[in-house]
């Protein structure tokens, strides 16, 4: 019975992953409202309908798309643009390099641009963007496996909207193909098809920048997530964290009390309450804030550390409160947050991975350190 179940899982996973290993759909500039973009092929021509232009201009207009190239100007409900070479996409003052196919339509008066591209090519951009602060080759290989696995686990996140993933940290950073280091190209190639699985399925390989000395158990961050392979682990040896050399391992932020109170009134407490004090109510075993209390002259507010971290980041910037591993001090005119790490703390610590690679650990040892009881497989071996 167990053998039949395992075989069935293998068939299901092989079918699903093999399908998605070919092409995935990623929405570009997903957090921008774009009216117009310009495309330019660098070493060949586009293919749009029967035309083969070198340059194309697209504009959202009257519920459709205005397509301009050469002497042509016409409206389409949807546009499919193919390219056999790299091409530049200029939008909102930014220019990025992409490959593959573009699917474009008008969505509520703005351009919805989806890039259809192979998984392994997509990973070149993701690994470059997500590991831009790392320096060691084995850390790049670890990031490649983690990003590939996360892509497959997360593949249906935006399926109802007609694509698989967005290009922001909501999914994974995908900023195009300018300046991809040769070490990253090699790391993606050498790990081609390798993913981490738990009970026959791609693991949710969450990762973050700096853990601050110890990672977090996923259930302490997102209580609905039951992932036994995402346990808290001590990051280091001989009392020194692997990520201790990272800029931002330890941080201190001072916020003016008036500024902080205005922020609280906008986002957390009522507009008329006067802020008095911030207290930490409970900590997780890794030392991260589970719950805190904002004391005011009114009802005040109890809030989870995770919610406070996210609300503060969106309003005051992600460098204000860099993680939930912090303590709070009140000064005469300031509230001071002192903490460790950067990010949510679950799964792979990227700078810890870099530190392990520097000490001579290979990418398999790195992955086994951060993800417990998972198995590495190659898609072609299923």
CB 197 within 8 A of CB 205: no
Q: Are 356 and 376 part of one and the same domain?
A: yes
Instruction: Please give the DSSP secondary-structure letter assigned to residue 210.
Output: B
Q: Are 130 and 238 part of one and the same domain?
A: yes
Cα–Cα distance for residue pair 318/339, rounded to 1 Å:
13
Cα–Cα distance for residue pair 266/268, rounded to 1 Å:
6
Residue 290 lies in a domain: yes
pTM across the whole model: 0.88
- The domain boundary, picked from 117, 142, 163, lies at 117
* Crossing angle (nearest 10°) for helices 137-153 and 350-358: 150
**What pairing do the DSSP bridges indicate for beta strands 78-83 and 101-107?**
antiparallel
Domain tally for the chain?
Answer: 3
Q: Are 305 and 159 part of one and the same domain?
A: no
Q: Are 44 and 95 part of one and the same domain?
A: yes
Q: Please state, in angstroms and as integers, the Cα–Cα distance from residue 252 to each residue in 126, 178, 219, 246, 337, following that order.
A: 30, 34, 27, 15, 6
Q: State the burial class of residue 323 (Cβ atoms within 10 Å of its Cβ: 0-12, 13-18, 19+).
A: buried
Residue 353 lies in a domain: yes
Domain that holds residue 180: 121-244+344-381
Segment 95-148, tens digit of pLDDT: 999 999 999 999 999 999 999 999 999 999 999 999 999 999 999 999 999 999
Tens digit of pLDDT per residue, the chain (382 long)? 333 333 333 334 444 444 444 689 999 998 888 899 999 998 889 999 889 899 999 999 989 999 999 888 999 999 999 998 899 999 888 899 999 999 999 999 999 999 999 999 999 999 999 999 999 999 999 999 999 999 999 998 899 999 999 999 889 999 999 889 999 999 999 999 999 999 989 999 999 999 999 999 999 988 767 799 999 999 998 889 999 999 999 999 999 999 999 999 999 999 999 999 999 999 999 999 999 999 999 888 999 999 999 999 999 999 999 999 999 999 999 999 999 999 999 999 999 999 999 999 999 999 999 999 999 999 875 4
CB 218 within 8 A of CB 161: no
* Tokens 């390798």 sit on residue: 194
Q: What is the number of H-type helices and E-type strands within the chain?
A: 9, 25
CB 149 within 8 A of CB 127: no
Residue 175 lies in a domain: yes
Residue 293: both structure tokens together: 């209390």
Q: Are 138 and 234 part of one and the same domain?
A: yes
Q: Are 178 and 234 part of one and the same domain?
A: yes
Q: Are 356 and 235 part of one and the same domain?
A: yes
**The 64-69 sheet, strands edge to edge:** 72-76, 64-69, 55-61, 36-41, 87-91, 94-98
Residue 9 lies in a domain: no
Residue 1 lies in a domain: no
Cα–Cα distance for residue pair 262/198, rounded to 1 Å:
46
Q: Are 229 and 270 part of one and the same domain?
A: no
Residue 247, phi then psi, degrees to nearest 5:
-65, 125
Residue 8 lies in a domain: no
Q: Are 274 and 138 part of one and the same domain?
A: no
Cα–Cα distance for residue pair 81/100, rounded to 1 Å:
9
Q: Are 353 and 231 part of one and the same domain?
A: yes
Sign of the CA dihedral 313, 319, 321, 325?
Answer: positive
Q: Are 230 and 157 part of one and the same domain?
A: yes
CB 289 within 8 A of CB 279: no
Q: State the burial class of residue 366 (Cβ atoms within 10 Å of its Cβ: 0-12, 13-18, 19+).
A: buried
**What pairing do the DSSP bridges indicate for beta strands 64-69 and 72-76?**
antiparallel
Q: Please state, in angstroms and as integers, the Cα–Cα distance from residue 292 to each residue in 268, 277, 309, 368, following that order.
A: 12, 11, 11, 33
Cα–Cα distance for residue pair 84/96, rounded to 1 Å:
17
Cα–Cα distance for residue pair 335/329, rounded to 1 Å:
6
Q: Are 288 and 313 part of one and the same domain?
A: yes
Residue 177 lies in a domain: yes
Residue 114: both structure tokens together: 């989806």
């Amino acid at each position: 019975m167990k053998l039949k179940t395992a075989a069935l899982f293998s068939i299901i996973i092989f079918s699903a992953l093999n399908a998605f290993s070919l092409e995935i759909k990623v929405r570009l500039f997903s957090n921008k409202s774009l009216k117009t973009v310009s495309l330019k092929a660098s070493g060949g021509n586009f293919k749009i309908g029967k035309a083969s232009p070198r340059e194309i201009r697209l504009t959202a207009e009257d519920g459709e798309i205005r397509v301009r190239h050469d002497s042509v100007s016409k409206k389409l409900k949807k546009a499919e643009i193919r390219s056999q070479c790299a091409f530049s996409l200029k939008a909102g003052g930014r220019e990025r390099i992409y490959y593959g196919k573009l699917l474009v339509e008008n969505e509520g008066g703005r351009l919805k641009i989806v890039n259809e591209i192979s998984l392994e090519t997509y990973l070149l951009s993701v690994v470059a963007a997500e590991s831009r602060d790392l320096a060691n080759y084995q850390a790049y290989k670890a990031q490649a496996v983690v990003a590939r696995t996360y892509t497959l686990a997360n593949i249906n996140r935006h399926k109802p909207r007609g694509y698989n993933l967005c290009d922001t940290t909501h999914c994974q950073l995908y900023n195009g193909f300018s300046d991809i280091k040769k070490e990253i190209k090699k790391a993606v190639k050498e790990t081609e098809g390798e993913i981490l699985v738990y009970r026959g399925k791609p693991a949710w390989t969450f990762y973050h920048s700096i853990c601050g000395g110890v990672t977090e158990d996923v259930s302490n961050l997102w209580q609905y997530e039951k992932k036994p392979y995402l346990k808290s682990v001590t990051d280091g040896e001989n009392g020194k964290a692997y990520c201790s050399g990272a800029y931002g391992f330890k941080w201190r932020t001072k916020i003016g009390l008036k500024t902080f109170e205005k922020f609280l009134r906008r986002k957390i407490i009522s507009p008329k309450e006067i802020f008095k004090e911030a207290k930490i109510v409970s900590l997780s075993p890794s030392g991260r804030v589970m719950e805190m209390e904002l004391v005011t002259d009114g009802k005040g507010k109890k809030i989870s550390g995770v919610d406070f971290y996210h609300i503060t980041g969106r309003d005051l910037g992600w460098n204000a409160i860099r993680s939930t591993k912090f303590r709070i001090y009140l000064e005469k005119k300031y509230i001071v947050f002192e903490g460790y790490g950067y990010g949510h703390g679950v799964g792979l610590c990227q700078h810890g991975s870099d530190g392990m690679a520097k000490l001579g650990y290979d990418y398999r040892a790195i992955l086994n350190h951060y993800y417990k009881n998972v198995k590495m497989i190659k898609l072609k071996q299923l």
